[in-house]
Amino acid sequence: MEPRNESHTSSLSLIVPVHGQVDTTKKFLASFARQTVKCQLTFVDDRSPDNTVQWLKENGWQVEVPKRRLWYNGILNMAIQSATTELIGILNNDLILGKHFIEATIQSFEQTDYDILVPFTLPTPDHSQLDRQLDLKVVPLYRREGWCILGRSTSLKKLPPIPSDDLRLWYGDTWLFHHAWRAGMKIGLMLHNRIYHEVSKTIQATQKEKNINPVIMTDMKVFKEKYSWLSKHKPLGLYKIFPPFIRSLLLPHYRIKGGSHKKVGTPIT
């Protein structure tokens, strides 16, 4: 597959952590190659047990190989702190992107004042649905939507990094969303920007015969015990019983200029 980094917008860079599953990464790259607008793409290898690094380098892709294993949380910290573009995206390698993904992301940030945005996840990798051109529409994010974090670098750098003692724990994306909500940042869901997520495909790199690796189970248990407040994937909780206007008074992240569910911007062309 021909590398696509040679022509790209300078406003957005994408970082993709990888740990094995090279075939899954190839599917992601096939969808990246179809983008209407290109951007910088960098892989960060976390000690892949297969030939992921070799394959990516042989095919001309940019790969960073840290001297030690960072785990997913460590890569999140590194990607945010080292960001040099205005916008940054941290994606899983088990995603299939709609062909307007990059174009829609940039346009959404340009035409709104959100700090963090996530795309809409479809249940199937149907290209006729993934690639549909829809009017730009962003709504407040009601619950955590990980696996595809897109944000303004200046906003993400204001969030506390995941402590070094907790890098092996999962749910680093939940950490970011929690602190962003707590800080009153504006977090939105792009209804017009679509992806497909092959759920748990990345984690399967550490599975054998469908038995989850004890390391993962231990980390999940530690996470739930140490950060019980992070495991709440629906930050609105009981606040959902209140009408939007009342929510906007109670929840800082719900304060949306021009109303909570109005269309903004112009159609993508």
Q: What is the pLDDT of residue 215?
A: 65
The residues spanned by each domain of the chain are 9-254
pLDDT value for 263: 38
Rounded to 5 degrees, φ, ψ at 56 are -65, -45
Among 113, 119, 240, residue whose Cα is nearest residue 184? 113
- The whole-number pLDDT of residue 31 equals 96
Q: What confidence score (pLDDT) does residue 266 get? A: 35
- Among the listed residues 64, 63, 8, the one whose alpha carbon sits nearest the alpha carbon of residue 40: 8
Query: Both tokens of residue 27?
Result: 């599917």
The CATH classification number of 9-254 equals 3.90.550.10
* DSSP-assigned states of every residue in the chain: ----TTS-EEEEEEEEEE-S-HHHHHHHHHHHHT-SS-EEEEEEE---SSSHHHHHHHTT-EEE--SS--HHHHHHHHHHHT--SSEEEEE-TTEEE-TTHHHHHHHHHHHS--SEEEEEEESS--HHHHT---B--EEE--S---SEEEEEHHHHTTSPPPPGGGTTSS-HHHHHHHHHHHTT--EEEEEEEEEEE-TTTTGGGGEETTEEPHHHHHHHHHHHHH-GGGG-S-TTGGGGGS-HHHHHHH-GGG--TT-SS---S-B--
Per-residue burial over 159-189, b = 16 or more CB atoms within 10 Å of its CB, e = otherwise: bebbeeebbbbbbbbbbbbbbbbeeebbbbb
**Global pTM exceeds 0.85:** no
> How much is the pLDDT for 171?
80
Q: For the chain, 269 residues long, give each residue's pLDDT as a single digit of tens.
A: 444 444 467 899 999 999 999 999 999 999 999 999 999 999 999 999 999 999 999 999 999 999 999 999 999 999 999 999 999 999 999 999 999 999 999 999 999 999 999 999 999 999 999 999 999 999 888 777 767 899 999 999 999 999 998 888 878 888 898 888 888 889 999 999 999 998 655 554 444 444 556 666 777 788 778 877 766 555 655 566 777 777 666 665 555 443 333 334 333 33
The backbone torsions φ and ψ at residue 178, rounded to the nearest 5 degrees and listed phi first, read -60, -50
pLDDT of residue 232: 59
Burial of 128 (0-12, 13-18, 19+ CB in 10 A): exposed
Helix axes 172-182, 71-81, angle to 10 degrees: 50
